[in-house]
Amino acid sequence: MKNLELARIFNEIADMLEIKGESPFRIQAYRRGARAMEALSEDIEEIFRRGELRNIPGVGESLAEKIAEYLKTGRMTYFEELRASLPPGVVTLMQVPEVGPKTALLLYEKLGITTIEELEKACKEGKVRTLPRMGAKTEENILKGIELLRRTKERLPLGVVLPHAQEIVDILGRLKQVHEISLAGSIRRMKETIGDIDILVTSDEPDVVMDTFTTLPRVSRVLSKGTTRSSVVLDVGIQADVRVVEPESFGAALQYFTGSKEHNIRLRERAVRKGLKINEYGVFLVKNEKRIAGRTEEEVYASLGLPWIPPEIREDQGEIDLAEKGKLPTLIQLSDVKGDLHIHTKWSDGADSVEEIAKAAKDRGYEYICITDHSQSLKFAGGVPIDELREHARIVRRLSDKLGIAILIGSEVDILPDGSLDYPDEVLKELDVVVASVHSRFRMSEEEMTKRIIKAMENPHVDILGHPTGRLLGQRDAYQVNIEEIIEAARRTQTVLEINATPERLDLKDTHARMAKEHGVKLAINTDAHSRHQLRYMAFGVGTARRGWIEPKDVVNTLPLNDLLDFLHNR
């Protein structure tokens, strides 16, 4: 899909217009356009083909023309002209998350900096602080930004990569020459970010498979092509490898290429102790090289005296010992989830009405959802004033009866800088579910931030702490917060901690979710959907939960409605 490419281009146009001091009105139009592209769940090319670009909220005539030009020709003249009119270094510097257009221009004009490397050097040498309104703190922030940029250039969020990977598996899987096919590597383990996509296939005509693979529409570059292995780069900027293996080795190859490397090393040690050799071709007796397993993964694990271990927990975090004792957890599955407790609608910054969301949720088989629009002071996100919130509660009750799915009314209430909440207790008390989240003043000291959040958790009306660490993968690190103290406070106040399933968040992350579970803290897996299409993010949240060893009983939104309501009332 070209959606994210267009979002990036519009954002870059807005940045460039800002440098040129153009009218804020035009700049906003491009920012809005970028957000509109990001929010789309449908392929922009589909919308274009139906002639419905202008129906996208936030896309006016001028943007629609530019989108059309880009989709037809792969270029956008206006964008290219703007770029050509700026010193190239300035555009480069703006890639750093901490460097806005004004700063970039200043760095370029006053210090002659044109590359990220030069910027890094200037920060380390204390030259940036000599510029107006900049100090040692700015330099520190820029250096952190450069580090983040480098880290994320290499890896992409699971939520971005998985749909593309699944598309490849679907297309290749439909070939009659393909007998078995599976994802492997980190994507099969549902890791939060992915370095490259690994796919395994069995086939008696590898040439056909590789021809199809290397000519897929999303392939932007073929790195290598052979009968047992081919590698390409996809247009989203990630490498994908397909390997063709022998049927009698498929299980062994799947086990080996799923990893993790650490898990594999542990498994190999175990094999050696048993007089066995394990590799991507199978499990063999050392004494006579006889193959004893390899056809399926189950067979491979069984040959080592182990039950099959779910990919998500193959991280050498104690899983092999527990498997041996038959004590692996029964991990939560997508089908265990009975509802979604954090959803936005048009009433704040969401794209769809309650009715549209509720219908989509019902189609997913949910028993209930909770509408949690933003609270009053979050003006930029359309925060809901108190009188409107009461009106919403009435509307929701009526719709609930009409549509045959329980619609709860809640709020994602802002945790203000002093730890108080953005609605008074009388209002919070009337709501079914209160999700409390931090959306402002991220740069507090760890002590202040931890105190702020714990104070909010101590309010008895707060049911769930939303996206507890505030991280945005590839964009913003978690704020400084003491997660051990938050978990302890959650235990004491019986506050539920959220695993926010939005691809950039996955917050709590896997290891923190496991820590919470071990302290007896309950979790909720919520999508924070801003449109009905984003309800599908639930799969990423469940993946993260599974990586955190989470079982259905740890998650409140696996409860049937009545049990959930009991839990909320009695906690």
| Integer Cα distance of 442 and 97 in angstroms | 15
Q: Which is nearer to Zn ion, 528 or 554 (CB)?
A: 528
Q: How far is CA 406 from CA 74, 352, 392, in A?
A: 46, 18, 15
Q: Which is nearer to Ca ion, 183 or 523 (CB)?
A: 183
Locate the DSSP E strands across 225-345.
229-234, 238-244, 276-279, 282-285, 291-293, 339-343
Among 141, 186, 249, 255, binds ligand DGT (CB under 6 A): 186
* Both tokens assigned to 243: 């390997």
Q: Which residue has the tokens 């629609």?
A: 64
Q: Taking CB under 5 A as the criterion, which residues in 447-476 touch Zn ion? A: none
User: Shortest distance, CB of residue 119 to ligand DGT, whole angstroms?
Assistant: 27
From Zn ion, ligand DGT, Ca ion, none, interface partner of 549 (C-beta below 5 to 8 A by class): none
From Zn ion, ligand DGT, Ca ion, none, interface partner of 528 (C-beta below 5 to 8 A by class): Zn ion
From Ca ion, Zn ion, ligand DGT, none, interface partner of 412 (C-beta below 5 to 8 A by class): Zn ion
Write the binding mask 41 to 70 for ligand DGT: x where contact by CB under 6 A, - elsewhere: ------------------------------
User: Shortest distance, CB of residue 277 to ligand DGT, whole angstroms?
Assistant: 13
Q: Which is nearer to Ca ion, 238 or 436 (CB)?
A: 238
Q: Which is nearer to ligand DGT, 257 or 368 (CB)?
A: 257
3-state secondary structure 35-101: HHHHHCCCCHHHHHHCCCHHHCCCCCHHHHHHHHHHHHHCCCHHHHHHHHCCCHHHHHHCCCCCCCH
Q: Which is nearer to Zn ion, 97 or 350 (CB)?
A: 350
- Tell me the residue number closest to Ca ion, measured at CB: 185
| Integer Cα distance of 194 and 502 in angstroms | 16
Greatest CA separation for the chain: 79
Count of residues interacting with ligand DGT (CB under 6 A): 14
| Integer Cα distance of 28 and 18 in angstroms | 10
From Ca ion, Zn ion, ligand DGT, none, interface partner of 422 (C-beta below 5 to 8 A by class): none
Among 89, 159, 185, 470, binds ligand DGT (CB under 6 A): 185
Q: Which is nearer to ligand DGT, 63 or 323 (CB)?
A: 323
Q: Which is nearer to Zn ion, 105 or 457 (CB)?
A: 457
The 238-244 sheet, strands edge to edge: 178-184, 196-203, 238-244, 229-234, 219-224
- Tell me the residue number closest to ligand DGT, measured at CB: 259
Locate the DSSP E strands across 462-532.
464-465, 496-500, 523-526
Q: Which is nearer to ligand DGT, 96 or 300 (CB)?
A: 300
Q: Is 414 in the site for Zn ion (CB under 5 A)?
A: no
Q: How far is CA 283 from CA 244, 325, 379, 533, in A?
A: 19, 22, 61, 44
Q: Which is nearer to Ca ion, 196 or 554 (CB)?
A: 196
| Burial label, 412 (beta-carbon count in 10 A; 0-12, 13-18, 19+) | buried
The span of 98-106, 222-230, 411-419, 555-563 binding Zn ion (CB under 5 A) equals: 411-419
* Both tokens assigned to 536: 């599908």
User: Shortest distance, CB of residue 464 to ligand DGT, whole angstroms?
Assistant: 30
User: Shortest distance, CB of residue 528 to Zn ion, whole angstroms?
Assistant: 4
The span of 193-201, 339-347, 522-530, 544-552 binding ligand DGT (CB under 6 A) equals: 193-201
Q: Taking CB under 5 A as the criterion, which residues in 168-187 touch Ca ion? A: 185-186
| Burial label, 316 (beta-carbon count in 10 A; 0-12, 13-18, 19+) | middle
| Integer Cα distance of 165 and 170 in angstroms | 9
Q: Which amino acid is at 10?
A: F
Q: Is 412 in the site for Zn ion (CB under 5 A)?
A: yes
Strands 464-465 and 433-437: parallel
From ligand DGT, Zn ion, Ca ion, none, interface partner of 354 (C-beta below 5 to 8 A by class): none
Write the binding mask 517 to 536 for Zn ion: x where contact by CB under 5 A, - elsewhere: -----------x--------
Q: Which is nearer to Ca ion, 40 or 190 (CB)?
A: 190
Q: Which is nearer to Zn ion, 323 or 343 (CB)?
A: 343
CB 162 within 8 A of CB 187: yes
Among 8, 49, 137, 261, binds ligand DGT (CB under 6 A): 261
The span of 23-31, 117-125, 157-165, 409-417 binding Zn ion (CB under 5 A) equals: 409-417
Among 12, 139, 192, 198, binds Ca ion (CB under 5 A): 198
- Non-local (6+) Cβ contacts of 474 within 8 A are 148, 152, 156, 157, 193, 504
Q: Which residue has the tokens 């549209």?
A: 356
Count of residues interacting with Ca ion (CB under 5 A): 4
Among 18, 192, 196, 554, binds Ca ion (CB under 5 A): 196
| Integer Cα distance of 133 and 138 in angstroms | 9
- Tell me the residue number closest to Zn ion, measured at CB: 528
Q: Is 264 in the site for ligand DGT (CB under 6 A)?
A: yes
Q: Which is nearer to ligand DGT, 194 or 371 (CB)?
A: 194
* Both tokens assigned to 134: 């900049």
Q: How far is CA 41 from CA 38, 47, 89, 160, 443, in A?
A: 8, 11, 34, 12, 32
Q: Which residue has the tokens 């993260």?
A: 544
Q: Residue 260: is the preceding peptide bond cis (ω within 30°)?
A: yes
Q: Which is nearer to Ca ion, 158 or 405 (CB)?
A: 158
Interface contacts to Ca ion, rule CB under 5 A: 185-186, 196, 198
Interface contacts to ligand DGT, rule CB under 6 A: 185-186, 191, 194-196, 198, 256-257, 259-261, 264-265
Interface contacts to Zn ion, rule CB under 5 A: 412, 528
